[in-house]
Amino acid sequence: MPKVRLAMAQTNPIVGDISGNLAQTIAAIDSAAALGANLVVFGEMNLTGYPIEDLAARESFITAAELAVADLAKHLQDGKYADLAVVIGHPSRAELKKGWSIAHNSATAIIGGQITGRYAKHHLPNYSVFDEYRNFVPGNSTFSFEFQGMRFSVLICEDIWQDGGPVAELSALDTDVTLVLNGSPFEVSKDDVRLKLVVDLAKAQGTAVAYVNLVGGQDDLVFDGNSIFVDSTGGLIARADQFATDLTIVEILDKATAISQATSPLAQAPDLEQVWNALVLGLRDYVAKNGFKSVVLGLSGGIDSAVCAAIAADAIGAENVFGVSMPSIYSSDHSRSDAEDLAHRIGCHYRTEAIGKLVDAFETQMDLGGLASENLQARMRGVILMALSNAEGHLTLTTGNKTELAVGYSTIYGDSVGGFAPIKDVEKTMVWKLANWRNDLATAKRETPPIPENSISKPPSAELRPDQVDQDSLPEYEVLDALLDAYVERRLGRVQIIAEGFDAQMVDRIIGLVDRAEWKRRQGAIGPKITGMAFGRDRRLPITNKFR
């Protein structure tokens, strides 16, 4: 009777920190062994982090990755690992180069300290945020190995999202269990797609499937973990934690029979909860992995900055969040009181830096007016936040949402300053939903709801001139977000959007705004992708572009 105790090791590597990732890998192996596991499988590129982008084209990087694999194998030659099999992900040197690509995206099996074999990813995603056809040489063979009387085949991520290639040969290889190493970023509702994909694969090829995903934030991506094990009948046996490192143990009796030792629920959390947790993890890891300890952000009393502050407090602790109210002569009383209320509710640092005298100094010297004056106010605030960042070492957060970013409703070098944009990929209507969801969570836990009710209910305003509200110049947000969904996410053209029932004049105006704001978006901070089409490397358009 075969006895395989599989550990799905959901680690959170840092890109380029090869020694740190190696140590994390060894620690996970030791923890897995202590739990009785004899097969430990990691996510895609767990040794180097993922995605490595053009680091893939550096000889020195590939050499370092190869050395780490050799170091790990050597480490595992210690007798205590004699009966242990490990499958790790890393780049490896390709024998034949393709363009400037010199590496494969690989997985290596190490059994009892011996490198048993290696697989090179066959299907290289080169759409959305992925540039793998740029960075890697595709593999062209299958890889299986025997362990404890069972046959394991190895695949990597995109391999199971495309037809053909190694995924079609699993059955022919007599595979008992397919081990899939993944670097699959979070998107709302994406997880259900993954589960369906894995179940269909298990049934089609008659193999159990261990789908092991990375976890953690890496620049604009959030890997959500949520690894799954499905038996060869398509039954979901185990699901690992989402948005946390995890070791999930599955006892595999045969391909159709496995017993989970996992404590995480098999069902998915609701969408808003997943989005909130993705945003929290994305921010937390950007802060930590880039050596920051704290963040600073402007608190306007509005919903966007309130939600960003609450995310930041959840991510790194309120004691590391520095909120700044920066009122002007146009600021309403509630903008100050709501900002202060938020800070009290969260328990973050709070100070006031009025911009009146700073604006006056410029206006006295330069005699501005109109748009220049409005932007000046936003830029004074940007300078204040960056001065505090420089003086005190905080990461500056910029609090713009996706809707704002789409239509360019922000001041470049003003409210857009910062190294990270927590709600960059969250449309305005979802910002409100997240605020309500987070407050409801607090209520359910008998905690103080972090976001002032007034920040949720009042009409949004940039407060750059008297009595200004967003809807002076923009459609209602429900309409605007629906229109943007058609133009940005679904890539529809003018005629198609109008055919969906939107007012033609509004369509022309809004898509013109979106296109003309491209130069600003290009200079914007990164932030966590949570949708199927985020601004940034997910959507690459020319700045110089007259197509409407």
Report the nearest approach of a second copy to the CB of residue 423 (Å): 18
Q: Is 459 in the site for a second copy (CB under 8 A)?
A: no
Q: Which of 129/269 has CB closer to a second copy?
A: 129
Give the angle 68-69-73 at the CA atoms, nearest 5°.
115
Among 1, 34, 60, 444, binds a second copy (CB under 8 A): 60
10-49: contacts with a second copy (CB under 8 A): 14-18, 20
Alpha-carbon span 504 to 508, nearest angstrom: 6
Among 35, 36, 100, 149, binds a second copy (CB under 8 A): 100
| 131 lies in the site for a second copy, by CB under 8 A | yes
SS3 229: strand
Tell me which stretch binds a second copy (CB under 8 A): 109-117, 141-149, 410-418, 448-456: 410-418
Shortest approach of a second copy to residue 372 CB, angstroms? Answer: 4
Q: Exposed/middle/buried for 272, CB within 10 Å: 0-12, 13-18, 19+?
A: middle
Return the biggest CA–CA distance within the chain: 86
Cβ proximity to a second copy: between 377 and 455 the closer is 377
Task: Report residue 146 CA to chain centroid gap.
Answer: 35
What token pair was written down for 39? 């097969």
Nearest distance from C-beta of residue 315 to a second copy, angstroms: 15
Q: Residue 353: helix, strand or coil by DSSP?
A: coil
Residue 331: CB minimum distance to a second copy, A: 16
Q: Which stretch binds a second copy (CB under 8 A): 70-78, 109-117, 131-139, 271-279?
A: 131-139
Complex with a second copy: residue 71 or 271, whichever CB lies closer: 71
Residue 140 in contact with a second copy, rule: CB under 8 A: no
Three-class secondary structure of residue 50 per DSSP: coil
**Looking at the DSSP assignment, which residues form a beta bridge with residue 295?**
321, 395
Which residues carry out catalysis?
Answer: 44, 121, 157
Residue 118: both structure tokens together: 């290696």
Residue 127 contacts a second copy per CB under 8 A: yes
User: SS3 for 88-146, per residue?
Assistant: EEEEEEEEEEECCEEEEEEEEEEECCEEEEEEECCCCCCCCCCCHHHHECCCCCCCEEE
Report if residue 269 touches a second copy, rule: CB under 8 A.
no
| Interface positions, 460-499, toward a second copy (CB under 8 A) | 491-496
CB-count exposure of residue 364 (10 Å: 0-12, 13-18, 19+): exposed
Nearest to 8 by CA among 89, 74, 122: 89
- Restricting to residues 505-524, name those near a second copy by CB under 8 A: 519, 522-524
Our CB check for a second copy shows the closer of 60 and 457 to be 60
DSSP E strands, 276-390: 295-298, 321-325, 349-352
Q: Which is nearer to a second copy, 76 or 514 (by Cβ)?
A: 514
Beta-carbon-side half-sphere exposure of residue 506 (alpha carbons within 13 Å): 19
* 352 sits near a second copy (criterion: CB under 8 A): no
- Per DSSP bridges, beta strands 295-298 and 395-396 are parallel
Q: Which of 290, 448, 471, 473 binds a second copy (CB under 8 A)?
A: 290
Options 94, 201, 281, 412; binder of a second copy; rule CB under 8 A: 412
204 is a site residue for a second copy (CB under 8 A)? no
Specify the residue, 457 or 523, whose C-beta has the smaller distance to a second copy.
Answer: 523
Q: Is 133 in the site for a second copy (CB under 8 A)?
A: yes
Closer Cβ to a second copy, 444 or 495, answer by number: 495
Per rule CB under 8 A, is residue 96 in the interface with a second copy?
no
